[in-house]
Structure 1
């Protein structure tokens, strides 16, 4: 899946270096909103930082045998966020999904539709047996997504992430291929 049109408004596609400016702008516009749950935002200080992030995503194609791990989430032709696999363990066929959406794109059902597509991609194209999502325990909005798609709560990792001034615990959700309902 290099380009996938979910519907008339939503498309997932591979990032390219020309997306660096749009990714940087979206990150900066949404930074105060995203900062509550994403610990990497202070490392993005310039368009060049976003470009390096995208270049790293492109290099990740080698790891997956040519399958992209992460995607630009486009809404009506505009970059709205990103979704994909932060990690893929080929040995146990398990992938961990990460996602974020710009503040101005919230509440439109965009991420739900994108997540459904990425789950299918993980099981069908990447041949995964398990997909995980790890979310800060208090991030109720983000936790609602895996719960809606039938992921099972598998446990909590204490002090899993440092967010600027505090540690947060992560709840781990898992979905096995044989549990997945299309």
Structure 2
């Protein structure tokens, strides 16, 4: 019951942040506060998912939690800031088993070519690892879902455009894997 109420509040807060972001013209410091709040939400979802605590790479088994967390992260994905995106990608990697297509489509919303996040070495390593995991663990889903494969290519392309060797190498392997 408490968890449901907490997610209801997070979903309402995320929707309010999106509205405020588009209307934030009355105060020069308001956009910073909006992004700070989005960052705190992404960090807390990441912590609640236990993504940073699990070293074995085991995904969350709680499908209800994953579904509610993905709804919140869908809203947070529009906030293009490296810190927000980093915590979002970590959490999505941990929640992906519950709904691989939805999780990666959220990642594709968060990561676009030219985003500041794509120029960070930690981001390149984390995102490349995230994509490699998809190709290994969710191969059947990727093969069956053309939109998912397109999203994977889009995110990978963002890091290839930024010149990251690990992304370039993975792009070559990806094209060979799906010939």
Q: What TM-score, normalized to structure 2?
A: 0.31
More strand by share: 1
Q: What TM-score, normalized to structure 1?
A: 0.31
